[in-house]
Chains A and B, each alone.
Chain A
């Protein structure tokens, strides 16, 4: 290899952005086409610096917008390279058209999405509005709860996405500022271990293979469009989860760190459970432990994989629970929250129908405090004691002014 290796300490104090940038270096990305936006800029900035300093053999393409950034990534991936970029919020929104192109063309691109609110009003802080916007785009979506996860999940994303049975792009989500700009200890892999895990990029149907010419980005009307979309969906529904599980297993062998498609904490005998994503999962874990000391059997379920949605794994994780709160960090704008709907769907045909209530919280980076979670668990326990949901089905946590609730 014609590039320099970097000596890392076993534990480095990194924020989520730098952890992701280091993972991109260790995966030896061939092409990053990127446009800066808060709070994800340091990821691609980090890649550019590693490249300039001779730690990577690759190319950084500066473009004029996020639409062009993803278009550049699509071109480079179709040509047959290992490709990644990063974005947030408005940048992600501008990318949406090209996200569907990437998944429809079956190009294994990894996009680091540092979750941030969508305007208006303009806000640079973390919520899940952009993450939710991407959930029908045909990408695999992984969710990090802390900088360590942001590092690890990048390797797993490349491994799954580039698998020739999958060939679908993947997003690695982390919470804006709460993970991206929060420094914590990150257990590192050596450059050789990390690269060994993802392996050499093996192109498939690449445009630069002139011996075997192929066409990318074709037009299909009613004669074939539905078959393409149905097969793409079929692969997401049937082929991706086993590959993710295999990647998690391999990663555990390499690093000792165990990831699960659905993360369950204190769920074995839980009466009440909170289900959420991002940093909130970890805060809720701490509160659940404290609630148990007070005699409330509290548990937490976190989604590690958002798409494909772990329909059966979620139902399994929530088996036997009496009351569940779904926490959505995105305004559903005229509906129950995404998690409320998805969980309701996953549980509807199961034997034990738990009491389900939905909460919207943390928009624009509004703090989710431990005190909020304590009241939430108490509210769930009150539902259990009453044998019914005692509150409206949709409430808002931490918003000022008159208490908002619906349904």
Chain B
């Protein structure tokens, strides 16, 4: 079982990102689950979304999770919420920030000793898609860190998932995914 927790603000596309990732993984024959904690979420409120991936049918519906990966797609959440809650010894963090990994860990002592990768998904999204929607870049970074799939397959799958958007936006997302893949450290 592979488990991922997303930290996001409502409106940044964590749910869409989690569902998109589930869709891609599902086409490879694995079982998937994607869900979120909403509450009465307002745009900008801190929220979490989740992915589960397994070789067999996923029957666990508990919201409690000890994630293998933590994605943080808003740069402030690493300071205002505890993104390390319920983590494991080998949990891998991919965090959106303009800081270097060293600077970020120094600024947030909870991350000391953890496996932390950083990438500026917000900046990448601004410069490619033109809006601060950091979900697809995060998936590009995840492909690099996890080596889950070849980029060609992943981008092809994401093009299908984003197909209802205008072609220009789809193309911009592909550039964003590639940039995050290249820039994550």
Contacts and interface: CB of A to CB of B under 8 A. Distances in A.
B36 A181 contact: yes
A151 B18 CA distance: 21
Interface in A343-389: 367-371
A184 B57 CA distance: 10
Contact of B63 (A185, A286, A367, A371): A367
A183 B61 contact: no
Q: How large is the interface on B (under 10, 10 to 19, 20 to 34, 35 or more residues)?
A: 20 to 34
B39 A124 contact: yes
A182 B60 CA distance: 12
Interface stretch (B19-27, B96-104, B174-182): B19-27
A279 B63 CA distance: 11
A182 B59 contact: no
B33 interface: yes
Nearest to B25: A13
Given A13-B19, A124-B40, A367-B64, A185 B26 contact: yes
A182 B35 contact: yes
B60 A282 contact: yes
A185 B60 contact: no
B149 interface: no
B31 interface: yes
A66 to B, nearest CB: 19
A279 B61 contact: yes
A92 interface: no
B62 interface: yes
Given A13-B32, A124-B38, A183 B59 contact: no
B26 to A, nearest CB: 5
B34 interface: yes
Contact of B32 (A124, A183, A279, A367): A183
Given A13-B23, A183-B19, A178 B60 contact: no
B58 interface: yes
A280 interface: yes
Contact of A183 (B35, B60, B62, B64): B35
B62 A368 contact: yes
Interface string B1-39: 000000000000000001100110011000111111011
B59 A184 contact: no
Contacts, number: 68
Contact of B35 (A124, A181, A368): A181
Contact of B34 (A13, A286, A368): A13
A371 B22 CA distance: 26
B33 A184 contact: yes
Given A13-B19, A283-B61, A370-B62, A178 B39 contact: no
Contacts of B18: 183
A263 to B, nearest CB: 12
Interface string A272-292: 000000011011011000000
A181 B27 CA distance: 20
A324 to B, nearest CB: 21
A11 interface: yes
Contact of A369 (B32, B33, B38, B62): B62
A369 to B, nearest CB: 5
B31 A182 contact: no
B2 to A, nearest CB: 15
Interface in B114-163: none
A309 interface: no
Given A11-B26, A177-B38, A282 B32 contact: no
B60 A286 contact: yes
Contacts of A177: 35, 38
Given A11-B26, A124-B39, A185-B26, A283 B62 contact: yes
Pick the most buried of A15, A177, A184: most chain B CB atoms within 10 A of its CB.
A184
A178 B61 contact: yes
Nearest to A122: B40
A184 B58 contact: yes
A125 B62 CA distance: 14
Nearest to A11: B26
Contact of B33 (A175, A182, A285, A371): A182
A282 B38 contact: no
A286 B141 CA distance: 32
Given A13-B19, A183-B19, A286 B33 contact: no
Interface in A1-54: 9, 11, 13, 15
Nearest to B23: A13
5 contacts: A178-B61, A185-B26, A282-B60, A367-B63, A368-B61
Interface of A: 9, 11, 13, 15, 124-125, 146, 175, 177-178, 181-185, 279-280, 282-283, 285-286, 367-371
Interface of B: 18-19, 22-23, 26-27, 31-36, 38-40, 58-64
